[in-house]
Structure 1
Amino acid sequence: MHGSFPDVTLAQQPSTPPSPPAIDGDDHPTRVLIVEDHRVVAEGLAALINHQTDMKVVGTVGTVAECIPAAAELNPDVVLLDFRLPDGAGPDAADAIRGIRPAAKMIFLTREDTDAARFAAVQSGASAFLHKSKAASEVVAAIRDVARGKMLITPRTIATLLTKRRSIEAQLERLTPREKEVLTLMAEGYPSRAIAAELGISYTTIRTHIRSLGSKLAVHSKLEAIVKARELGLIN
């Protein structure tokens, strides 16, 4: 899945718009740090960015742990992050970087396409949230805009995410800890008897929990359980 992105970006490099002149008398190129654990994706992004005259990649790292010393040493203007990393999530990396480089701007470039991911990005102070299917020119334009202080996540989007988040929190509050465990195991593909064995309770009790989940969340099948568990943030 990830491998398709650099092919797209590299193929479209010649069509990216020419780099605009520096603004406000500042002629230094925008310094970009890439936080991406898939090397082929990181290399494709670096080639795309370094093709521009008004920006350059100052470093590429693949973990949350690596991004902290890299940000401290390299002082990036913009950080381009994937959402999922081997030792944590992109928002964890963003929080860590902002702790030592508060002026750095964050752009999430990811295949994650959930409201939970967008909300986490907003909470971490992201200026943009882009899907990896975006064209190369859009990625370059986003880096350019964010470097100039533009917020690409609109207030309306943030308000919508907050409303959905409150709805999710209300649904979670209706569930007991045991029901959350049952829903998570349902979403992971466990049949009812296996859930009972995993949790050390009777099959009859599991059926009671499943009926309760059906009543509270309209969850009646494995597919519905997966969708709802992802929506509630119980599984990735």
Structure 2
Amino acid sequence: MAHELHPVRVLVIDDHELTRSGVVAELKADARLEVVGAFGSIRTVPLPATEPANTDVVIVDLSLPNEAAGIQAVERVVPWGIPVVVCTMFATSMIRDQAKAAGASAFVSKRSAALQLIDAVLSAHHGVYFEAGIEFLDDHAQLSPAEIEVARRVAQGMASPEIARDLNRPKRSVDGLITSAQRKLGLDGRTRSSLAAWAVRAGLVPEE
């Protein structure tokens, strides 16, 4: 990358405080970058930060409960006219393709090294598409972002009503997503333990 005359101004949107803090620390450690804000949701981002005159690149997670599920997060940020870097745990080829179609300028797994996220930011700023950490797992890639979100919460021990509140979805929709995920993965649909076990194996939640 060419030397930047001024630091690239980066805005971070991630609902997980520890993850958000970690990303901010990684970015601040690079003199080529300047963090202009870090927020837990899109709606809390102040209007000036959404303007290209003040922000050069936006890093956004695909998991923003009660606000934007999956690719909707990208669709809400792209209209700002600022390059969008998706940084997500759900780095499958299918979701990558959806994010790219929605206008994302880069796509990085949260399991990627910090240097790859920095490369993604710089590439997006220069108009060059970048991706890293894509998982080509057939079973994982079959699931939609919504199904993956629900599977992760099942593995965390959440019941359907709680998942519904967390994702701002009707309980019937949550139950339908659980059933469809189990069917796609060829799991026993009589209990949810098999889906929870799959989510742990897939790295959606930490193993205990």
Q: TM-score range by the shorter chain?
A: 0.5 to 0.7
Give structure 2 stretches of 5+ with no counterpart: 135-140, 145-172, 196-208
Counterpart in 2 of 1:129?
A: 107
User: Match for 1:91 among 71, 75, 80?
Assistant: 71
Q: Does 1:186 align with 2:179?
A: yes
Give the aligned residue type for 2:69.
Answer: A
Structure (1 or 2) with the greater helix fraction: 1
SS of residue in 1 equivalent to 2:100: helix
Q: Kindly state the Cα deviation for residue 123 of structure 1 after the two structures are TM-superposed.
A: 2.5
Q: Kindly state the Cα deviation for residue 48 of structure 1 after the two structures are TM-superposed.
A: 1.1
Q: Kindly state the Cα deviation for residue 187 of structure 1 after the two structures are TM-superposed.
A: 5.0
Give the aligned residue type for 1:93.
Answer: A
Does structure 2 conserve the Cα–Cα contact (< 8 Å) formed by 1:20 and 1:54?
A: no
Does structure 2 conserve the Cα–Cα contact (< 8 Å) formed by 1:64 and 1:90?
A: no
Taking the TM superposition and a 5 Å limit, the aligned residue runs for 1:167-182 are: none
Counterpart in 2 of 1:145?
A: 123
TM-score by length of 2: 0.60
Q: Work out the CA distance in 2 between the residues paired with 1:218 and 1:29.
A: 45
Tell which deviates more after alignment, 118-127 or 78-87.
118-127
Does structure 1 conserve the Cα–Cα contact (< 8 Å) formed by 2:57 and 2:85?
A: yes
Q: Work out the CA distance in 1 between the residues paired with 2:30 and 2:174.
A: 49
When the two structures are aligned, how many residues end up with a matched partner?
156
Tell which deviates more after alignment, 114-123 or 131-140.
114-123
Q: Does 1:79 align with 2:72?
A: no
With over 3 angstroms needed to count, the CA separation of the structure-2 counterparts of 1:45 and 1:182, relative to structure 1, is closer
With over 3 angstroms needed to count, the CA separation of the structure-2 counterparts of 1:97 and 1:74, relative to structure 1, is farther
Give the aligned residue type for 1:80.
Answer: I
Does structure 1 conserve the Cα–Cα contact (< 8 Å) formed by 2:36 and 2:55?
A: yes
Taking the TM superposition and a 5 Å limit, the aligned residue runs for 1:31-46 are: 31-46=9-24
Does structure 2 conserve the Cα–Cα contact (< 8 Å) formed by 1:83 and 1:117?
A: no
Q: Work out the CA distance in 2 between the residues paired with 1:61 and 1:88.
A: 14
Alpha-carbon RMSD: 3.7
Give structure 1 stretches of 5+ with no counterpart: 1-18, 158-163, 169-179, 190-212, 227-236
Counterpart in 2 of 1:21?
A: 3
Identity %: 25
With over 3 angstroms needed to count, the CA separation of the structure-2 counterparts of 1:51 and 1:151, relative to structure 1, is same
SS of residue in 2 equivalent to 1:64: coil
Does structure 1 conserve the Cα–Cα contact (< 8 Å) formed by 2:124 and 2:130?
A: yes
TM-score by length of 1: 0.54
Counterpart in 2 of 1:60?
A: 38
Does structure 2 conserve the Cα–Cα contact (< 8 Å) formed by 1:90 and 1:108?
A: no
Q: Work out the CA distance in 1 between the residues paired with 2:124 and 2:60.
A: 14
SS of residue in 1 equivalent to 2:24: helix
